Amino acid sequence: MKLTIGHLYPDLLNLYGDRGNIQCLMKRCQWRGIEAETVEFRIEDRIDFSELDIVLLGGGSDREQKLVCEKLQTIQKDFKAYVEDNGVVIAVCGGYQLLGNYYKTGSDFMEGLKLVDLYTEQGDGRLIDNVVIKSDLFDRPVVGFENHGGRTYIKKNKALGKVLYGFGNDGKSDEEGVVYKNVIGTYLHGPLLPKNPHVADYLIRNALERQTGQKISLEPLDDRQEIEANQYIIDRFVKSSGK
Ligand code: GLN
C-alpha cells in the first residue's frame, strides 16, 4: 500500500500553512507504516490524476487565484474524472472557491473548475475569525481559522458542517464548507489537518479504501496533544457563543 499525495501549485496556493496539511498527512501515514509520497506540481507540470490518491488545493490571494484559474481550465476534464471516480480532494479557502463554478470579485470574474456545483462572490468586508463546526462526518468538532472576502453558496450540496462559532461559507447560512463524494472544500486553515487529526485520518482512510476496494480501519495514534489543543478552541469560543 502506498499513498501518493498531489500538492497542486504550492508556489501560488499556499496561504496560512497549507504545507502543514501535507506534512500532517505524510506523518500520520509514516507513523502507521503506510508508505506515502508527495508530488508537488508547478503551473507548467502535467498532472496524471490516475497516479494520485489525495489532491490538495490550497489557499491563495485573489491575485494568485487569478494566475491559477486559467491553468485550471486545461486540467478540468482530468480533474473532474478523478473526482467522479471518488478521488480524494481537500481544497482550502482559495482552493475551495476554485472548485466551484466561478469566483466573482468587484473587478474580476474567475472561471472555476466546476467540480462541485457552487459559486463564490465577494461580499462587503472580510470574514475573519476562529471557527468551530460540527460535522456529521466526525465525532469531534472541527476547528480552524478563516479569512476570506468571498461568500460561497453551495446550492443543494451538503455542507461540511454547521457553524458553532465563526462565519462559515457566507456569514449567514450557519454552514461551513462542502462535501461532494470524496471532496471536502472548506474555509478552515490555520492549518486544518494538524488541528484536526480526525479529518486527516478521514482523508487517508478514504484514499486507502478507494485504492484497495476494502474497508480500512486505521491504527489509532497518540493524539492527546492535538485533542487538547482542539478542545481548547472549542471551550474558548463555543461556550461564549451559546450555540
Ligand atoms: N481570495 C479569497 C478570498 O479572500 C481566498 C483567500 C484565502 O485563500 N485565504 O475570498
Q: Render pLDDT for 126-150 as a digit per residue (tens, 0 to 9).
A: 999 999 999 999 999 999 999 999 9
Determine if ligand 1 sits within 6 Å of the CB of residue 151: no
Mean pLDDT (whole number) for 95-117 = 96
- Give a three-class secondary structure readout of 176-227: ECEEECCEEEECCECCHHHHCHHHHHHHHHHHHHHHHCCCCCCCCCCCHHHH
Mean pLDDT (whole number) for 16-23 = 88
Look at residue 107 in the predicted model and tell me its pLDDT: 92
Look at residue 242 in the predicted model and tell me its pLDDT: 63
For residue 176 the three cell numbers come to 461551513
What does each C-alpha distance from 139 to 166, 182, 222, 239 come to in angstroms? Answer: 20, 18, 17, 18
Look at residue 17 in the predicted model and tell me its pLDDT: 78
For residue 177 the three cell numbers come to 464548507
Residue 7 is a catalytic residue? no
Q: Can you tell me which atom of ligand 1 is nearest the CA of 64?
A: 1
Count helices and strands in the chain by DSSP H and E runs: 7, 12
Q: Can you tell me which atom of ligand 1 is nearest the CA of 105?
A: 10
Mean pLDDT (whole number) for 184-197 = 94
Residue 189 is a catalytic residue? yes
Look at residue 132 in the predicted model and tell me its pLDDT: 97
Summary mean pLDDT of the chain:
95
Predicted TM-score of the model (pTM): 0.96
Given a cut of 80, whether residue 95 has pLDDT beyond it is: yes
Given a cut of 70, whether residue 243 has pLDDT beyond it is: no
Q: How far is the CA of 64 from the centre of ligand 1 (A)?
A: 10
Q: Give the residue among 48, 39, 43 at the shortest CA–CA distance from 13.
A: 43
Determine if ligand 1 sits within 6 Å of the CB of residue 57: no
Given a cut of 80, whether residue 240 has pLDDT beyond it is: no
Q: What percent of the chain is modeled with pLDDT above 90? A: 88
Q: Is 10 helix (H, G, I), strand (E, B) or coil?
A: coil
Mean pLDDT (whole number) for 53-63 = 92
Q: Can you tell me which atom of ligand 1 is nearest the CA of 126?
A: 4
- Beta-carbon neighbour count of residue 29 at 10 Å? 23
For residue 145 the three cell numbers come to 481559522
For residue 158 the three cell numbers come to 451538503
Look at residue 62 in the predicted model and tell me its pLDDT: 87
Task: Give the Cα separation of 190 and 130 in Å (integer).
Answer: 9
pLDDT band at 16 (very low <50, low <70, confident <90, very high): confident
Is 169 or 65 the better-scoring residue by pLDDT?
169
Mean pLDDT (whole number) for 71-96 = 97
Look at residue 85 in the predicted model and tell me its pLDDT: 98
Q: Which of 59-73, 107-121, 167-181, 209-223 has the lowest mean pLDDT?
A: 59-73
pLDDT digits (tens, 9 = 90+) for 38-51: 999 999 999 999 99
Given a cut of 80, whether residue 103 has pLDDT beyond it is: yes
